[in-house]
């Protein structure tokens, strides 16, 4: 996960919640706040320091259990950068040149640095260091995962079986959450509803969701209404049906938004409380990161030993 600013509803349902569910089922899982990756698009030390701490607070508040799950900053495990360099010596230029996300980022105005170009190599290192068998990602990350596999295979062909080639698990069931204007919710579009922070900001965002111009008591179509599309994410199938009926029976958009706001606060209330506690205890949060880095380094060190022996650096 990139430390790139306030967590929003799209991040929660699209990434955090499915990851929480997977880590609850897994024997072991590792999560990294990828601050080295963030350097490719953020050159502001004050903000980066803040964002990476905030990202850790967000994940802990959302329910990641640091005793069961390893969670830390990527840069605290130097083996990520070390392995990335070694992998970059086998990663074909042609493979990297085909990366869609690089082109998209440059088009968006991010400076075309060597780090941005080799971003997928660092991501391959993140995965291969831990002998990951399965990497669950959204559809947008498929190409990066294919590149990780290609790089691992290239390395193994050159130096013998050393790295575990991971399987890609595309999470089709993960929703694309719409933003307050109906486009995909994204920080880049300024259409987000935050999970943490001031209640008044959340309320303003929800009350500002775009709707059509139907009158207060007119029947509404839940399928095309962003307020409903967001509200249903929180509800069981039966609850969704009941709410959809209310829309068809002329629930006003104002009342629909108030209902959504009520649900939002009910569901996120406990997390928001925990978040406030963690914000007041930065020492604990940083201790979690240090402990996570120690545990991750123990794994990473074993892989690096294998890799270094394989290439002749040991």
Asked about 25 being catalytic, the answer comes back as no
Q: Which is nearer to ligand ADP, 101 or 156 (CB)?
A: 101
Minimal distance in Å, beta carbon 185 to ligand ADP? 4
The stretch near ligand ADP (CB under 6 A) out of 68-76, 173-181, 222-230, 264-272 is 173-181
Contact between 185 and ligand ADP by CB under 6 A: the answer reads yes
Minimal distance in Å, beta carbon 174 to ligand ADP? 6
Contact between 209 and ligand ADP by CB under 6 A: the answer reads no
Which of 63, 78, 115, 138 forms a contact with ligand ADP (CB under 6 A)? 138
The stretch near ligand ADP (CB under 6 A) out of 96-104, 174-182, 223-231, 291-299 is 174-182
Which of 88, 113, 186, 263 forms a contact with ligand ADP (CB under 6 A)? 186
Contact between 4 and ligand ADP by CB under 6 A: the answer reads yes
Using only the alpha carbons of the chain, give its radius of gyration.
22
- How many other CB atoms are found less than 10 A from the CB of residue 58? 23
Contact between 191 and ligand ADP by CB under 6 A: the answer reads no
Asked about 105 being catalytic, the answer comes back as yes
Which of 100, 169, 176, 276 forms a contact with ligand ADP (CB under 6 A)? 176
| Alpha-carbon 154 to chain mean position | 28
Contact between 98 and ligand ADP by CB under 6 A: the answer reads no
Minimal distance in Å, beta carbon 236 to ligand ADP? 20
Minimal distance in Å, beta carbon 85 to ligand ADP? 26
Chain residues binding ligand ADP by CB under 6 A are 2, 4, 10-11, 14-15, 138, 140, 175-177, 184-188
Catalytic residues: 105, 184, 187
């Amino acid at each position: 996960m990139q430390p790139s600013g306030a967590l929003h509803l799209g991040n929660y349902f699209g990434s955090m919640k499915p990851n929480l569910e997977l880590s609850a089922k897994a024997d072991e899982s590792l999560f990294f706040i990828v601050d080295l990756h963030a350097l490719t698009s953020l050159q502001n030390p004050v903000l980066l320091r803040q964002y990476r701490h905030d990202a850790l607070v967000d994940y802990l508040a959302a329910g990641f259990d640091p005793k069961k799950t390893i969670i830390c900053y990527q840069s605290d495990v130097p083996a990520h950068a070390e392995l990335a360099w070694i992998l970059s010596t086998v990663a074909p230029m042609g493979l990297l040149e085909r990366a869609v996300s690089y082109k998209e980022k440059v088009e968006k105005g991010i400076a075309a640095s060597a780090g941005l170009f080799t971003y997928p190599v660092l991501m391959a290192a993140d995965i291969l260091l831990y002998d990951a068998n399965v990497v669950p990602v959204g559809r947008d990350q498929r190409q990066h995962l294919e590149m990780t596999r290609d790089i691992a295979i290239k390395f193994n062909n050159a130096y013998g079986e050393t790295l575990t080639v991971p399987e890609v698990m595309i999470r089709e069931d993960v929703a694309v959450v719409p933003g307050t204007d109906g486009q995909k919710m994204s920080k880049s579009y300024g259409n987000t509803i935050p999970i943490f922070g001031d209640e008044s900001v959340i309320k303003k965002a929800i009350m500002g969701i775009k709707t059509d111009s139907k009158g207060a008591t007119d029947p509404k179509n839940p399928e095309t209404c962003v307020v409903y599309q967001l509200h249903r994410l929180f509800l069981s199938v039966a609850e969704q049906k009941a709410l959809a009926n209310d829309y068809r029976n002329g629930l006003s958009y104002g009342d629909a938004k108030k209902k959504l706001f009520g649900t939002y606060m009910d569901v996120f209330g406990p997390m928001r409380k925990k978040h406030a506690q963690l914000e007041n205890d930065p020492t604990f949060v940083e201790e979690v990161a240090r402990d996570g880095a120690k545990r991750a380094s123990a794994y990473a060190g074993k892989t690096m030993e294998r890799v270094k022996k394989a290439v002749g650096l040991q």
